Each structure stands twice: as structure tokens, then as C-alpha cells.
Chains A and B, each alone.
Chain A
Amino acid sequence: MARDRTEEISGARIVIQALKEHGVDTVFGYPGGAVLPIYDELFLDQGIKHILVRHEQAAAHAAEGYARSTGKPGVLLVTSGPGATNAVTGLTDALMDSIPIICLSGQVPTFMIGNDAFQEADTVGITRPCTKHNWLVKDTANLAEVIHQAFHVATNGRPGPVLVDIPKDVQFATAPYKTAAQAKTSHYNPRVKGDPDAIQTVVEMIEQAERPIFYSGGGVVNSGDAASQLLRDLVNGTGFPITSTLMGLGCYPASGKNWVGMLGMHGTYEANLAMHGCDLMICVGARFDDRITGRTDAFSPNSTKVHIDIDPSSINKNIHVDVPIIGDVGHVLEHMLKIWRSRGRKTRSAEVKEWWSQIEEWKAVDCLRYKPSTETIKPQYALQRLEELTKKHDRYICTEVGQHQMWAAQFLGFEEPKRWMTSGGLGTMGYGVPSSIGVQVANPRSLVINVAGEASFMMTMQEMSTAVQYNLPVKQFILNNERLGMVRQWQELLHGERYSSSYSEALPDFVKLAEAFGCKGIKCENPADLDDAIKEMLDYDGPVIFDCLVERHENCFPMIPSGKAHNEMLLGEASTQNTIDHTGAVLV
């Protein structure tokens, strides 16, 4: 593309050129009046693949799925007004989970802004709290520079969503194109290297620790594949146990010998008790979220806490830490590993061995056990079979939000980062279907499965039409309990079994629904048929809706009820068999 640099091109053309300069190959979007000039350029150029979603929320989640599975920023293109407001849920989701996505939105022409024009909304105002940063471009001459900045801000520091609002007249007007190198440099350059003194201190603590634990999170995934490798080297080198948040699954392999499982509200008994009882906690790219800490004043009372995070505002937000290290996980771990090795790779191995035997005792409790059944499919069993039959595949897993999500985290094993796409911070039901589409677009030859609940699935199931249109063979594995399972579980445990609006009445026939969309439907309700049905799903070259009818009243355990500490977790049905007390619950 040998364009004269001084040649003036339209704003719409600038958008396409800037996207290409940043290596964007795919855009998820939905056209409308205020973005037609950009769609025209997409049509003329053909260099960028456009995936037409069926709702703008899905464009944002698909861009997230694309970003999470590739490590590259995802891009979505939506029109003004409803196009932008529909994208808000996806932007908020990306903000909470630190996912780099770039939303380009159309806007009414600059001279009509503020007039309540057709399809006008104050998009930068609405998205200000749900993006990392946003811009309204009022002059075509600034457009290229703003898009370059948008990519810079979305991908540097703690990643997150950004939005560029482009009025229609700015898309039509012309200006010379500025390359990223010509654009003025942004002052936004968060620190990536950690404080060497603090890192030295942590190495000394590692050498002295008797009951240490690594607690890793999504920051490790965001830092890049090298960070996961460094984490593995450090964990395997020291021999310390490691647990992870929901967002960080896969950074340390589930089959690794130091893995103690996920922690938190539905984490394993051994992980949570190890967090409670440790004397040294090294938090790597996680943020002491309330689903992790339980009651904060009883959280890991006797430990020295180290926190590595690129975002200074994550430090001391919920939990006071003793050694904060602000920096990129990859840089800090590399530095830490180097110092620890140069000092002779010391640990107090005898004490750590004793600590491990304590952890083994907790492991022996077998906290994920459930009562098997030959009549109904237990959701845990369905996931165990799915794991068994797919773990050798080049596999990506998405989920929706609820019980199935927690079971998937507990029963599926992740060996690599970027293989697990789930809505952690915002807990967005409806995330999984569009996310699986984004993942499949980015990884066309891989097996992409969305573990869903029937209620979550129905929130964005229109996207099956997108899957069919682009021939994306996503597998929707629905654990159908005909209930809003997690809501029902809370109502059973905490609200006197008053199941207020948690029953999915009038569900569609998912097999017929699949056929209506033009994909394959499979229904399974007998445990004996499950393996064959899963194999049938895997063998089918195209999108599948798998309706797995499971036990309706299964609860997800273990569980740390809110307001309880890690060592007060509920293990299974046995610990909940108590008298009914009809106290009215005020808050959920």
C-alpha cells in the first residue's frame, strides 16, 4: 500500500489503515447509520475480516474471547446510540477482567451532538466509568493519532477496554494519515520493572519460609506466555505449593505436582486451608477479590504477604500486604528467579516438606467428591467425562456464569494459559456463547467448547446464527438443570428454600432450536449414553448445541459462605443438613 504520506484520505479510510497498522485481522461488529462510511471502507478493502454478530454485546464478548485466547487486542465496531449502549456490558466485563479490547463507535455528526439526534447517545459519558479511557474525535486530523493511542492504552500497563467515538462527519472528512511512529508519544507508560530491594526481600523470605504458598491470578496470563513459564520455573524450583484464582487457571498446569487447585469461594479445601495457614503468601498478578478472601479480617491471619501487581491501585485495596511490588509479573518474576538462583536456590526444604504433608492431609478430604448416580447425570460427572474425552485435544474452554462455571473450573484441567475464557470479575451471564465465537475465529482449527447453563445460554443464544453464518464449529455444552442453579443454591442455603424466580419455566427444546439455527442438536439424559453423545458432538464438523439434562438440585461445593473465613468452608451436603430457620433474608 504505497500511499503518499501527505495525501488526504477520509476518516473512515484512516480507521481501516490504522487498524491494519496495528495488525488487526478481525473486527466484530454491527453496522448502522453512524458507521456506514467505515463499513464502506471495510467492503472496499477486504483486508480485514468482519464478523457480523447479532447483538453488540456479543461483539464485545467475542472481541474479549479473541483477545483472551490470542493475547492480542480484540476490536469491535458498533454504531451510535443503541449500538454503543449495547456494548456497555461487554466493555464493563473487559474492564473487570483486564482484557484489552478496542471499541470503535459511530456518533452523530459533530454539529448535531447534543441535539438529541436520531440514535444519539452520550457515548463517552456512558462509557467513561466502564473503559480504561475513551475519546471523542472531533477532527479527522486527530483520528489516526487517537487510534494509535487507543491501542497503546488498551495494551500497556494493566490492559483494559478503550473506546473511540467517531462522529459521522469526521469519518467523511479527509486528512493526511499519521503512522504510529509519527504520532506524538503518550505519557502513559506504567512502570514494568519492580523495585529491586523489594524483590531481594522476597527472595530472602522465600529462603526462610516454612509454610509458603504462591497465589497467582489473571495478571500472569496478561503478562504473556513468558510470565507463565517463569512462574512454573519458580514454583518447580522452590517446590512451593501454588493455587490460582479463577482468572489465572492454566498459568501453572493442573497436572503439575505443586498444584493444589483453585482457591476462593468454590475453591478446593486444600487451597483455601493452605492460604489460611501459610506463613508466606506470594500473590502474583491477582487482586485479593472478595470471592477470594472471604471475611477480610480473618484472611490468612499469620502470613507475610507479598503482592506483585502492575496496577498500584490493586495494592492494599482489600488486604494489607507487607511487601508490595509494582511492576509487570514477567519482569518481576524473572528478576526474582535470577536473584534466588544466584544466591544458591535455597529453601527450608525440611519445613516445606512438612507443610506439604499437611497439605496432603487436606487433599485427602477429597473436597470435590460427589454422590455418583446411575439414573441422572451429575453435572460434575458430565464435566469429568468431557475432560476425559477432550483433554488431548487442542482445546479452548469458555463458560457462562453460575454453578456450571465453578464446576468447570473445578473439574476441567488447564495445562496452558489463554485456554480458559470466563467472566470472572463482572460475572456476566451470556458471556460464553459470543466469547466462544471470538475464540473460534481466532483459532479456527481448535476445539472450542462453551460450558453453559441453560439460563445463561439463552441470554445470548442468538449468536448461534453468527456461528452458522461463519461456519464456526463451536460446541455449546449446556448443563441443563432447568434452574438458575447458583441462585437456587443460595436460596436453598440462605433463604429458607424459598425459590423465588429461580426456575426456568417454558424452556425451548434445544435440539429443535439447534435445527432451527442450522446446527446440530444433541440431547442426553442418561449417564450411560453420555460418552457416546460427547463423542458425537466432537465428531460433528460444525456448531453443536448439546443439551445435557443434569441433576436439578445439585449444589456446588466446597463453598465459603460470605462473611466466613477460609477455614470455615462447607464441604458437601452433609454440612448443610440442619434445621430450617425461617429468618427473612434481607440482602442477596
Chain B
Amino acid sequence: MNALHLKKGSSQHSAYHLKPGYGDENERRVLAVIVDNEAGVLARVIGLFSGRGYNIESLTVAEVNHSRHYSRITIVTTGTPMVLEQIKSQLGRLVPVHDVHDLTTEGPHVERELALVKVVCSDDKRVEALRMCDVFRAKVVDTTLESFVFELTGAPEKIDAFVDLMKPLGLIDLARTGVAAISRGVDAPKE
């Protein structure tokens, strides 16, 4: 018996309503999360994202207050406005979390990322790589006769652009720190 006149393949055979109730566009947000630097705190944050199906585009973490053992986690995430609000409140209710700041909506902010780029090349390409390095204000931090390691700091888009330019010149390895971000102006999170 199919008392409910359900069409074949209908999701209404499910115990759950399978159509998501939101259709908004995804947005990108940069969150600064101040946490106690205790064992497992990063696992809690990451577990929250994976367990609830949220995206992480970039994540950086380091202790920023050594005397009180506070770490700052910078998370770049995407989602619909409703999901982003959930992410913030879910983060906020973790016990070791002191504060969650949405830098994207709270005002202007600066985003920076550091990249180490290894390029192996010779002759003209070597000259060209150095010229690019100059244009992007990157530093050469290691060199051999066949290779360079460039250090570059900037917004993620600048690093993307540099990486794209280095690919044809012999990019063979790349390390990026992920985004660290801070608000512009005089305001700072209370501790």
C-alpha cells in the first residue's frame, strides 16, 4: 500500500524531509576565534565543521597570548547566510571558545597569507623568476644554481597570482600558511 500517493523515487519515503529549506547563495567569511590553548581544542573546532558538514577553506592557529594560553584560530569558510550564522553560534557554544568574530561583517579587515614557493629553472627563466619576485615584492630565502625558494606575503589572491605566474617558470613545490586576518582601525577583541 502506498497510502500517500507518492511518486516513484520520491524522497517522501524518507523519515526526513530531504529538500533543504534554503536556496541562498554561498558567501565567504573570515572568522577569528579566540580559544583556550588546551589539548584537543583544534580537534573540537575541526570536528564541528566536519560533523555538521560545514566547509573550511583555510585555517590557521597559533597561541597569541602566552601568559593566558589563548590561541587565535582564523577560519575562512563558505556557506549560505543561515549556515554561516549556525557556524558562528556552534563555535560560540564550545566550552574553550571565548569569542567568535566575523571579520567580514564586523568592518574592514586585512587578510594576509605567507607562501614559500620553490622554483627550479635556468637561463632566461631564472631571470624572469627573479623579475617577478621583484614585482611581487617577494624575497629569495634560499637559492642554488638551479633553484629559488621565494617567500611572499599578501592577500590570498596575490599569492594565487604569483603562483600562476611561477608555474610556467618551473614551480615544483608550494607551502602556504592559510589566512591570518585582523580588523582595521582601533578596535580589538576583548580578552
Contacts and interface: CB of A to CB of B under 8 A. Distances in A.
B8 interface: yes
Q: Which has the most chain A C-beta neighbours within 10 Å: B9, B40, B51?
A: B40
B168 interface: no
Interface string B1-37: 1111111111111111111010000000000000000
Interface in B41-72: 43-44, 47, 51
Given A124-B40, A187-B98, A493-B4, A585 B89 contact: no
A2 interface: no
B156 interface: no
Contacts of B98: 187
A494 interface: yes
A575 B89 contact: no
B12 A562 contact: yes
A149 to B, nearest CB: 9
Contacts of B7: 583
Interface string A288-331: 00100011110000000000000111011110100000000000
B89 A495 contact: no
B40 A296 contact: no
B5 A290 contact: no
Contact of B90 (A190, A313, A564, A587): A313
A583 B93 contact: no
Contacts of B135: none
B21 A316 contact: no
Contacts of B16: 290, 562
A576 B1 contact: yes
B145 interface: no
Q: Which has the most chain A C-beta neighbours within 10 Å: B3, B40, B51?
A: B3
Contact of A585 (B13, B44, B90): B13
B186 interface: no
A333 B145 CA distance: 75
B92 interface: yes
B161 interface: no
B188 interface: no
Nearest to A315: B89
Nearest to B44: A128
Contacts of A585: 13
A581 B2 contact: yes
Contacts of A506: none
A148 to B, nearest CB: 14
A115 interface: no
Given A296-B17, A583-B6, A588-B14, A578 B47 contact: no
A136 B4 contact: no
B2 A496 contact: yes
A529 interface: no
B43 to A, nearest CB: 6
A312 B89 contact: yes
Contacts of A133: 94-96
Given A124-B40, A313-B89, A578-B2, A132 B95 contact: yes
B1 A578 contact: yes
Contacts of A495: 13
Interface string A184-202: 0011101000000000000
Contacts of A588: 13-15
A504 to B, nearest CB: 21
Interface residues of B, number: 37
Contacts of B94: 133
* Interface size range on A against B: 35 or more
B85 A316 contact: yes
B153 to A, nearest CB: 33
A42 interface: no
Given A290-B16, A290-B17, A128 B43 contact: yes
Contacts of A577: 3
A32 interface: no
Contacts of A581: 1-2, 5-6
A196 B90 CA distance: 24
A44 interface: no
A320 B11 CA distance: 23
B3 A575 contact: yes
B2 A318 contact: no
Contact of A188 (B15, B82, B95): B95
B39 interface: yes
B3 A578 contact: yes
A584 interface: yes
B95 A317 contact: no
Contact of B92 (A296, A312, A578): A312
A575 to B, nearest CB: 7
B188 to A, nearest CB: 18
A564 B90 CA distance: 29
B15 A490 contact: yes
A98 to B, nearest CB: 12
A360 interface: no
Contacts of A586: 9, 13
A546 B17 CA distance: 37
B143 interface: no
Contacts of A157: 93
Contact of A494 (B6, B9, B39, B47): B6
B18 A578 contact: no
Given A312-B89, A313-B90, A583-B2, A295 B15 contact: no
A124 B39 CA distance: 10
A64 B9 CA distance: 40
Contact of B18 (A318, A563, A570): A563
Contact of A496 (B1, B10, B19, B43): B1
Contacts of A563: 10-12, 14, 17-19
Given A125-B43, A133-B95, A563-B12, A296 B21 contact: yes
28 contacts: A125-B40, A128-B44, A129-B47, A132-B95, A133-B94, A133-B96, A186-B95, A190-B93, A296-B17, A312-B89, A312-B92, A312-B93, A313-B86, A313-B93, A315-B89, A316-B86, A493-B4, A496-B1, A562-B12, A562-B15, A563-B12, A564-B12, A570-B3, A570-B4, A575-B3, A583-B2, A583-B9, A587-B13
Interface of B: 1-19, 21, 39-40, 43-44, 47, 51, 82, 85-86, 89-90, 92-96, 98
Given A578-B2, A587-B11, 13 more contacts: A129-B47, A132-B95, A188-B95, A294-B17, A311-B89, A311-B93, A313-B89, A320-B82, A493-B2, A494-B12, A577-B3, A581-B5, A587-B13
